[in-house]
Amino acid sequence: MKAVELAKAYDPKTFEDRIYAKWQEEGSFKPKLGGQGYFTVVIPPPNVTGVLHLGHGLNNSLQDIVVRFHRMLGEATLWVPGTDHAGIATQNVVERRLKAKGLSRHDLGREKFVEETWKVKQEHHAIISRQLERIGASVDWSRERFTLDEGLSKAVREVFVTLYERDLLYKGNYLVNWCPSCGTALSDDEVDHEDTPGKMYHLRYPRIDGKGFVELATTRPETLLGDTAVAVHPEDDRYKDLVGQKVALPLTDRELPVVADTYVDKEFGTGVVKITPAHDPNDWELSKRHGLPVINILTPDGKLNDDVPPKYRGMTVKQAREAVLEDLKAGGFYIKEEDITHAVGHCYRCHTVIEPFLSEQWFVRMKPLAEKALASWRRGEVVFYPRKWENTYQHWLENIRDWCVSRQLWWGHRIPAWHCADCGKTAVSRTDLSSCPHCGSTNIEQDPDVLDTWFSSWLWPFSTLGWPEDTADLKNFYPTTALVTAYDIIFFWVARMIMAGLEFTGKAPFRDIYIHGLVRDKQGRKMSKSLGNGLDPLELVDEYGADAFKFTLAFMCAQGQDLLVDKESFKLGSKFANKIWNACRYILMNLEGRNLVTDPMLRPVDKWIYSRLNGAAAAMREAFLSYRYNDAAQKAYEFFWNDFCDWYVEATKLSLKSEDDHEKDRATTVLLDVLGESIKLLHPLLPFVTEEIYGKLNAAKGDGVSTGSNTELLTTASYPAFSEKRNDPKAEEDFAFLQELVTLVRTLRSECTISPEKKVRVLVRLGGAKGKILGENTDLVKLLGGIGNLEIAVAEGDDPGTSHGTERPRGSIAVVGVGFEAFVFIAEAADLAQLKQKFTRDIEKDRKFIASLESKLGNENFLKNAPPELVAGEKLKLREAQQRMGKLEVYIRDMA
């Protein structure tokens, strides 16, 4: 073999783009049928006008890791990419551009506006695709989809019409969440509720029977213009005589009935509630129970309409509130106001305050669909990781409301319904209509609304594979295997996809649902532009590399927990990638003149590393299969950094410095084999650096790299499997003893500030079984422990205390392990007087530290008021300080 050079410094910029292009060129991300089953993931489609934030970075990194793992298992692995047309968000982008030019969408007209929106889509799509490539997403770009492409649009229309035919879709006047700015209805899930400062206004409504007035409170006094009743609890003794009576509605000439309903909380406020059915969802439900009239006081742009007294018509809600309050005070109806904080609904896109609004919309009947989704989950057809999210899923489905699916937008899937002006009927059709199927009139008009963006997204797992056509992809890859998403869209997307999959394919759309946490800053705050605490994934990739980015997120992603990160966090992944690079560089640059050996004999240290590799492979497989990303990442880190680099590579130096060429070849052969398997183990977590090293490793071994065949690529190699042949608990137990001995000696050397170059003399007293192991590995222990002279005193049995010379040798310090004592002759390697002074100073520091901790832990107020984790941490510090001080006192005694 010949030496292969890696650059001295790890610089991912020099190879990441090249490697991604190579993967693409070789078709590495396309599924290969005929293997060990299949594994399918569909990407949660990002908004086409968005830019990927750190949450997207986490989500796509986790998908990439599990996809790469299953691809290496030999499964036909498909990761489908795609983007969402994002109706409201994308339309807002275009409307803002038009506004900057002094135009509105109405100036362009519907057709021209949609054309302009397609242009914006194309601009942003290229940005998102490049971002996914930069973070290394191994998606099959040849199967990329868009929610407004021809195939998905056909699926959307098929579903809409089928729901209508099954009486699961209807149109009606209902109270909806309305965004006055976007001019459209929103579903409950598209409303962000934020704690907002406000006021509670206490008002008087006079009783018609002349017995004074009733006091009630409201946060929205302007809505009283739409009141149609006042309600009390039927068991509230204060108002028994009031039920069935009437009160006068201030500022109007209307009278309101007083009704009794258990919705009213008699313990809250005055126990009297104003009922405004058109502008409050709870009031809407109460109005249906009592047959109350419904008065809508708002126009679609959020202004007061003609159903209010003339004075207030045309005012905005804010203006109307000020005017109404002024008139209430003037009329003696105002009592007082209180400062409060309450949850106010905002549009999840433009952040405008939401108004409950009565309008005609299309709705999907959700209860029949939800019952099927619940039954599927109870049968175990879908499994949540972690399981706690099943409670959220169950609660939402059991309390589901009908879904408002129409949106008053121009960008999106146009509703396939036509209204006839002559016969007044509505026709829903899979194909565009030119005449009314009921009366034959050509005087028909298509519904102007579009469908909620989520209406296309809930079909994503099967529409992306070709449904409603009976495609090969649908046969081969549906149901998909896993869904990886954040918990904030369980309602928006996850549950709805399960409902749609069951209703239209008869199968749950995926088996595994991995719900990861949100990425937050170190203070636990959600990342946002307003707080200025966001992190750009591409900036992190530019600085640290895609592997460091991906590994850090996996390492920190514990099931069921949010991730608290800052920029510094990504140094962890960068240091690990750098460690891999440097370790492999050292190995590859020392191959000159070496030859590979067939079936090399294994020494004890070789058996140990193979067994450790075996255990790591088993643990990482199990972690990946159960979506425990942090466990997989931590095991990878522990194995490669500690077992392979710190112990095995160091141990091989004994053979590689040998004068025996055959021994050098034997050791090199084993070392390269272990390295190759280790690189495979790490690949799902750090794909770029491992692929680059794997190529260099193959070049060193001459494994046909110049053929250009796919076999040279690590991304399609086989993942290491657990092997009984390599499983060697005895080798691990024996080497653990040697590690403990070496670690104790190394620690003592460090505590005594003995330079690495200086060798120490060590006497080890131990039992017969361990004596045999140490005797067979003397040179290895000397190398690893920085030991010049190693003396072994073996007892007749396994008790080191029975060995000859039980007294501690003069000039030595004893360290004790399991089944052995080691005496390190410090006097020969250090200045004992200076050492005693150092230990004495350290003991004094520990004594003061222990006293302060004991005082704190003896304070009842601290124990009672401090968080339990803080108390536990202080107790741990105390134990560690006491142990450290006790050890130093023994050292000083031994040096006497």
Residues at the annotated binding site for ATP?
529
Map tokens 């060129």 to a residue: 25
3-state secondary structure of 759: coil
What is the distance between the alpha carbons of residues 530 and 651, in angstroms, rounded to a whole number? Answer: 53
What is the distance between the alpha carbons of residues 795 and 440, in angstroms, rounded to a whole number? Answer: 107
Q: How far is residue 675 from each of residues 580, 639, 648, measured CA to CA in Å?
A: 10, 12, 10
Q: Which residues contact 365 (CB under 8 A, 6 or more apart)?
A: 167, 168, 169, 170, 402
What is the distance between the alpha carbons of residues 370 and 382, in angstroms, rounded to a whole number? Answer: 14
Contact 170, 473 (CB under 8 A): no
Q: How far is residue 484 from each of residues 92, 235, 464, measured CA to CA in Å?
A: 28, 49, 16
Q: Which residues contact 18 (CB under 8 A, 6 or more apart)?
A: none
Contact 539, 600 (CB under 8 A): no
* DSSP summary character for residue 726: T
Q: What is the DSSP string of 517-534?
A: --EE-TTSPBP-TTTT--
Q: Which residues contact 335 (CB under 8 A, 6 or more apart)?
A: 202, 203, 204, 215
Q: Are strands 355-364 and 403-404 parallel, antiparallel or unpaired?
A: antiparallel
Q: Which residues are annotated as a binding site?
A: 529
Q: Which residues of 16-32 are buried (b: 16+ CB within 10 A; e: fewer)?
A: beebbebbeebebbebe
Q: How far is residue 449 from each of residues 224, 415, 500, 729, measured CA to CA in Å?
A: 31, 6, 22, 68
What is the distance between the alpha carbons of residues 71 and 86, in angstroms, rounded to a whole number? Answer: 31
Partners of residue 428 on adjacent β-strands: 417
